[in-house]
Each structure stands twice: as C-alpha cells, then as structure tokens.
C-alpha cells in the first residue's frame, strides 16, 4: 500500500506460508495458529454453534481434522512452476539486448496493442507516461475537485521492482504467443521500456546504443521502491505482513468494528434509477462525441478491429493474416471477397466464428473491409 493509501496485494505464496501451521480451537475474535501467531490479514473467525456461524449454516465435517494439501511435488515439478524472477535476481537468466533492438521488436510484436512508444489505448495499458521520476510524485494526488489530476500508475512510476517486468514479458507476452521470445529479445524489450520511461541505471540514461544485461538490470532502482507497506521482500516478509495487518491503526478507521462504527455526520448518497446520482464531485453528464477530424472519415471497421481483432491479426504468430500483409491477404482474396466474409463469419481453421465475438454479420464485414483496405 502506498503511504497508507494504496492497497497491497499479498501473494498466495506469502499467505500459504503462514497457513501451513495447524489452527488451535476457534473461539472468536482474531484467528490464532497453534504456534501462537495470528493470521497475516488480521481476520476474525467465529465458533460453530448449532451448526451455524451467526446466521449461516456450515458443513461441520469440513471444520474437523487436519487440512490435507496433497502430495509433495517433485523437483522437476517445482522447477517447471518456479519461473518467476525475484527482486534479488533469483531466476533472472544471462542475456543481453540493446534499446535499438528492443524498439524494433516492440514495433513488430507490441505496438498493435500498446501503441507507439507505449502510450496505450483501445483497452490496453500504457507502458509509460513521460519521465517516471516526475510521474512518481503524482501518486499522492487525490481527485478532490473535478479537475484534479489523479495518480499516474504505469510501470515506471508505480512498480517498486523491475523484476516483474522481465518475467511477465518472458512468460506472458506477446499475448498471442507467450514464451516465444528468447532471453536476449526480452532484455532488448525491457531496455526499450526502461528508456521510454526515462529511467536511469547507475545514473545513466539509456540511449539507442545502450546494451542491457543481467548485471546492469539488477542495478536499476525504481522511483517507487519504498512506496509500499508492509515490506514483504526477504525472509522476514511474512512477519512484517503479520505485524502490519494485525495492527488495525494501519488501515480503516483504526479499530475493529462491525456496527455503529462511524463517529460523525454521514453524507448520504441518493439512489435513483439504476445507480448513485449524488456524486461528489458531480459526474459530468456531457455526452457529446469528440468532433471528427477534418478530412477523410475513419474506416467503419477500424474501431471494432482494434477492440476485438488486433490481438490476433496484429501479429503473424497466430497464423492469422496480419493487417498490412499484402501477400497473405492477396492469397485469401483469390476466391473473392464473399468467401473471405463467409470464413470470417462462420470460422475457418483455428479462427472461431466471428473471432469468438458476438458481433453482427455487418460489423464483421466492416472489419474485413478495413483489414483488406489496409493490406493492399
């Protein structure tokens, strides 16, 4: 949580580590394990009485006996699962890649979703919002008035560690073909993303010729490295989390409370129609569309393509004809545009009918027209 305002998301591994201890009898209040330690999240449990906890019936058999976690995994199973990269460099392989190579890879494999220079759009997240050191200062911003700027939360400004960036790209990107990038390609893409966030490594900005490797990557210090509490890194991470979440002064109103908790005059939100109407500050009710740009109107299928089709047709990794690939589209047009419409609507090979969407036939044809027009 950032300075007692942003949420902390504990990993399942952290919670599971504390949950391996058998619980003593539950007598209400804060739950305690047999080793005398409280649960990490400060939660409470209630005794089963007459087959119920408060108003709800429970399966009493499920509350008896030891928890069974299954068999112990083999070393090979652990190795296949344990592919994340830790902040101390554990799991980070050797390799290298330049900013220039990363720029070219980004244009080829990433820009269809994250747009030019990582600006984001069409539902895909931005990877940068200018200088990360300046942007990090915005994280304490609150939208108190209608025109106030909110916090800028992108990789460079918000993430406390860069290690997650490397393994997420390696194991999850590009979306249509995860695990298809070599380690050198991942280093190149990471170098490019670091550069467009204007981050420095050992005081040096990353120009096009900068070559990132394992040693240099581990020297990267993120602007928001101290912005989250509690500290969950290292061998004391579990205990730090336990101490923090069992002190109710660190969050909420400072006390455990189930009713009559608010001391003061509440502000009521009026409910009318289908939702809350009395927002503070008021929500704008202006519904005007942006003024169209002068010149030729955008192709009708462009917006639908970007929202529903670019994830597969923005790359050739899925075997689908890529937008702009003249040769691939020319081959499909040999049997006529009606055949292309038919295949798009009814599906062909690995493509499901309508690409798995619920779009109308008309919308699908507009998308086909857009892709064909951009591929001549």
Per-position pLDDT tens, the chain of length 376: 333 333 333 333 333 333 333 333 333 445 666 566 777 766 666 678 888 877 888 887 776 666 677 888 999 999 888 888 988 899 999 999 999 999 999 999 998 889 889 988 777 889 999 999 999 999 988 877 766 788 999 999 999 999 999 999 999 999 888 999 999 999 999 999 999 999 999 999 999 999 999 999 999 999 999 898 888 888 888 888 888 887 777 776 566 677 777 666 665 555 555 455 555 566 666 766 666 666 555 678 888 888 888 878 877 666 788 888 888 888 888 888 898 888 888 888 778 888 878 889 988 888 888 888 888 8
pLDDT at 323: 82
Q: Are residues 182 and 70 in the same domain?
A: no
Contacts for 206 with CB less than 8 Å, ≥ 6 apart: 99, 191, 194, 195, 199, 200, 212
**Does residue 15 form part of some domain?**
yes
Of 212, 221, 219, nearest to 187 by C-alpha is: 212
Q: Are residues 103 and 70 in the same domain?
A: no
Q: Phi/psi at 9 (nearest 5 deg)?
A: -105, 105
End-to-end Cα spacing for the chain: 51
Q: Are residues 124 and 69 in the same domain?
A: no
Q: Are residues 4 and 106 in the same domain?
A: no
Residue with tokens 């073909």: 177
**Does residue 174 form part of some domain?**
yes
Containing domain of residue 245, as a range? 1-82+237-257
Angle at 356 between CA 353 and CA 358, to 5 degrees: 90
**Dihedral over alpha carbons 124, 125, 127, 132 (to 10 degrees):** 160
Q: Are residues 44 and 116 in the same domain?
A: no
Q: Are residues 139 and 39 in the same domain?
A: no
- Supply the CATH number for residue 314's domain: 1.10.760.10
**Does residue 63 form part of some domain?**
yes
Please say which residue of 217, 248, 276 terminates a domain: 217
Please say which residue of 158, 185, 217 terminates a domain: 217
**Does residue 36 form part of some domain?**
yes
Whole-prediction pTM: 0.59
Angle at 111 between CA 313 and CA 119, to 5 degrees: 135
**Does residue 293 form part of some domain?**
no
Q: Are residues 71 and 119 in the same domain?
A: no
Residue with tokens 């109407």: 277
Q: Are residues 77 and 102 in the same domain?
A: no
Q: State CA 83 to chain mean position distance.
A: 18
**Does residue 295 form part of some domain?**
no
**Does residue 231 form part of some domain?**
no
When divided into structural domains, the chain yields a total of 3
Q: Are residues 336 and 365 in the same domain?
A: yes
**Does residue 253 form part of some domain?**
yes
Please say which residue of 257, 287, 316 terminates a domain: 257
């Amino acid at each position: 949580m950032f300075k007692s305002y942003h949420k902390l998301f504990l990993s399942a591994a952290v919670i599971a580590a504390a949950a391996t201890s058998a619980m003593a009898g539950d007598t209400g209040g804060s739950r305690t394990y047999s080793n005398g330690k409280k649960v990490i999240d400060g939660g409470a449990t209630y005794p089963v009485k007459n087959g119920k906890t408060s108003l709800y019936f429970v399966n009493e058999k499920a509350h008896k006996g030891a928890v069974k976690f299954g068999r112990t995994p083999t070393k090979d199973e652990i190795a296949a699962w344990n592919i994340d990269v830790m902040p101390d460099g554990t799991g980070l392989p050797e390799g290298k890649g330049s900013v220039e190579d990363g720029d070219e890879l980004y244009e080829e494999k990433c820009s269809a979703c994250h747009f030019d220079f990582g600006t984001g759009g069409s539902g895909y997240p931005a990877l940068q919002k200018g200088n990360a050191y300046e942007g990090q200062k915005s994280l304490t911003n609150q939208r108190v008035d209608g025109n106030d700027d909110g916090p800028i939360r992108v990789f460079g400004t918000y993430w406390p560690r860069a290690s997650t960036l490397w393994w997420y790209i390696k194991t999850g990107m590009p979306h249509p073909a995860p695990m298809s990038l070599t380690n050198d390609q991942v280093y190149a893409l990471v170098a490019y993303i670091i550069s467009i966030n204007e981050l420095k490594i050992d005081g040096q900005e990353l120009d096009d010729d900068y070559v990132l490797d394992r040693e240099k990557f581990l020297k990267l210090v993120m602007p928001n490295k101290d912005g989250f509490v509690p500290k969950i890194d290292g061998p004391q991470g579990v205990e730090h989390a336990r101490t923090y979440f069992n002190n109710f002064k660190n969050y909420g109103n400072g006390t455990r409370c189930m009713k009559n908790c608010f001391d003061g005059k509440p502000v009521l939100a009026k409910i009318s129609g289908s939702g809350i109407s009395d927002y503070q500050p008021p929500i704008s009710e202006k519904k005007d569309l942006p003024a169209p740009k002068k010149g030729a109107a955008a192709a009708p299928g462009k917006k639908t393509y970007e929202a529903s089709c670019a994830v597969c047709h923005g790359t050739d990794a899925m075997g689908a004809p890529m937008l702009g690939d003249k040769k691939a589209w020319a081959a499909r047009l040999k049997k006529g545009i009606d055949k292309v419409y038919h295949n798009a609507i009814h599906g062909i090979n690995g493509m499901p009918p309508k690409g798995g969407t619920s779009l109308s036939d008309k919308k699908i044809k507009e998308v086909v027209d857009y892709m064909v027009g951009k591929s001549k």
